[in-house]
């Protein structure tokens, strides 16, 4: 059977430099045989391109209701120093127990070594500031969804925004999590992998979770999916990758890591699929790591999606969105 190839497409709308990275269909046990092919498409035939794929995504839902005006205070609610309308600095570790929407006109800093932890499944953290956003060296953010609107953003050396394995629900009517008890990987940007458990079937006929979200290709904003389990009682599947969206008016510098990888399913579950990273900025620098890859597991998770839309890019960040093959494929 033909091996579906991953593809890498470069889209050039309105002269902006825009990359949609999609590594789909990583095939069980054939990791060495996949390859990229490059395609330059305009907006019109990009739609044709999308039509070539089955689309599991229902028509776009209506836009969410506007968020309530923020009533957060830098000092009282975030334990920080200063004010959200001038300069707010998060100076010590912060544990969030509910979704958080931070808004102000000023600059926002998470100082070096500080951990902002919104580490429950589906936790949404949004920061909307008129000034610049800075994460100091070795600072951390854990959340399922991290959305940033700012003038510029700086991610210091060793800083990490980690949404790996923390996904909330994938879009309605998608089937990223595989059925059955094969411990297959979750799907999203690509299909998950599955190991043959049934001697009657050929390896290439066995797949994990489905791919979905084609209609959001240029602005990916779906969670990854959980991997399958091998047990009726225990859910061993790795969690789906989360979502990161950065919308900057001017500069983005990434010396740290922006992670939306699928979670690890261990030896009894499938890996979660990678989530989404969407970046829009005027200028991008830094050589950090941006990743929405599938998690490891009995069957590996499918790749997620990364889209980078910048007018000028100066350094080469390391961008990954690949799927993972089976780790343990004994039958
Ligand atoms: C945050 O929670 C972790 C455990 O989840 C705990 O170890 C840490 O002390 C907490 N930090 C703060 C500032 O509450
Ligand atoms: C915010 O970033 C811009 C560049 O994008 C820079 O010109 C400006 O000085 C920065 N503001 C502060 C307060 O650092
Ligand atoms: C990123 O790394 C470069 C090169 O090491 C350095 O010049 C720059 O100041 C760093 N920026 C941040 C935000 O850490
Ligand atoms: C970044 O941090 C790593 C260790 O976390 C260190 O080895 C490296 O020298 C640092 N690079 C810069 C430019 O500060
Ligand atoms: C990100 O989170 C995942 C899941 O909790 C963890 O396995 C991984 O080590 C983390 N990566 C970094 C760089 O913190």
Q: What is the pLDDT of residue 200?
A: 55
Q: What is the pLDDT of residue 106?
A: 96
Q: Which of 154, 156, 246, 255 to mutate to test the pocket of ligand 3 (most atoms within 8 A of CB)?
A: 255
For residue 200, what are the contacts with CB-CB under 8 A and spacing of at least 6?
Answer: none
Does residue 157 have its Cβ closer than 6 Å to ligand 4? Answer: yes
| Closest ligand 2 atom to Cα of 87 | 13
pLDDT band of 103, cuts 50, 70, 90: very high
Does residue 96 have its Cβ closer than 6 Å to ligand 5? Answer: no
Q: Which among 285, 294, 292, 293 is positioned nearest to 317, based on CA atoms? A: 285
Angle made by CA atoms 42, 24, 321, in degrees to the nearest 5:
90
pLDDT band of 313, cuts 50, 70, 90: confident
Ligand 1, CB within 6 Å, residue ranges: 93, 95, 117
The two tokens of residue 124 are 């949404």
pLDDT in tens, 31-86: 222 222 222 223 333 333 333 344 455 556 566 655 665 578 999 999 999 999 99
Q: Which of 151, 156, 283 to mutate to test the pocket of ligand 2 (most atoms within 8 A of CB)?
A: 151
E strand or H helix at 318 = strand 318-320
Distance of alpha carbon 16 from alpha carbon 294, whole angstroms:
29
Extended strands (E) in 65-152: 81-82, 87-90, 94-95, 100-104, 107-110, 115-117, 124-129, 133-135, 140-142, 145-150
Helices (H), the chain: 43-51
How many angstroms separate the alpha carbon of residue 38 from the centre of ligand 1? 46
Q: What radius of gyration do the chain's Cα atoms show?
A: 20
Distance of alpha carbon 186 from alpha carbon 99, whole angstroms:
25
Burial class (CB in 10 A: 0-12, 13-18, 19+), 215: middle
Q: Which of 103-117, 127-141, 170-184 has the lowest mean pLDDT?
A: 170-184
| Closest ligand 2 atom to Cα of 107 | 13
pLDDT in tens, 169-227: 776 666 677 777 777 777 887 777 876 555 555 555 566 777 877 777 778 888 888 88
Q: Which of 142, 143, 159, 261 to mutate to test the pocket of ligand 5 (most atoms within 8 A of CB)?
A: 261
């Amino acid at each position: 059977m033909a091996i579906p190839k991953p593809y890498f497409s470069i889209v050039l709308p309105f002269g902006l430099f825009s990359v949609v990275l999609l590594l789909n269909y990583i095939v069980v046990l054939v990791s060495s045989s996949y390859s990229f092919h490059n395609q330059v498409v305009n907006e019109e035939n990009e739609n044709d391109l999308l039509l070539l794929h089955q689309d599991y995504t229902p028509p776009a839902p209506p836009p969410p209701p506007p968020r309530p005006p923020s009533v957060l205070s830098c000092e009282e609610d975030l334990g920080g120093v200063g004010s959200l309308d001038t300069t707010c600095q998060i100076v010590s570790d912060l544990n969030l127990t509910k979704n958080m929407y931070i808004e102000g006109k000023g600059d926002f800093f998470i100082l070096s070594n500080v951990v902002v932890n919104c580490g429950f499944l589906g936790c949404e953290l949004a920061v909307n500031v008129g000034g610049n956003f800075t994460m100091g060296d070795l600072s951390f953010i854990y959340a399922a969804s991290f959305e940033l609107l700012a003038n510029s953003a700086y991610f210091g050396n060793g800083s990490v925004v980690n949404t790996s394995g923390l996904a909330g629900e994938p879009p309605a009517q998608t089937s990223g999590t595989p059925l059955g008890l094969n411990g297959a990987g979750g799907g999203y940007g690509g299909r998950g992998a599955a190991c043959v458990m049934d001697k009657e079937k050929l390896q290439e006929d066995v797949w994990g979770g489905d791919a979905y979200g084609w209609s959001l290709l240029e602005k990916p904003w779906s969670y990854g999916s959980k991997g399958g389990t091998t047990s009726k009682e225990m859910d061993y599947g790795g969690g789906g990758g989360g979502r990161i969206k950065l919308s900057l008016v001017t500069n983005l510098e990434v010396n740290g890591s922006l992670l939306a990888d699928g979670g690890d399913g261990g030896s009894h579950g499938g890996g979660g699929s990678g989530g989404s990273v969407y970046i829009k900025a005027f200028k991008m620098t830094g050589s950090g790591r941006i990743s929405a890859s599938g998690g490891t597991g009995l069957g590996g998770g499918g790749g997620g999606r990364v889209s980078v839309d910048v007018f000028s890019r100066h350094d080469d960040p390391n961008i990954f969105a690949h799927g993972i093959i089976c780790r343990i494929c004994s039958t």
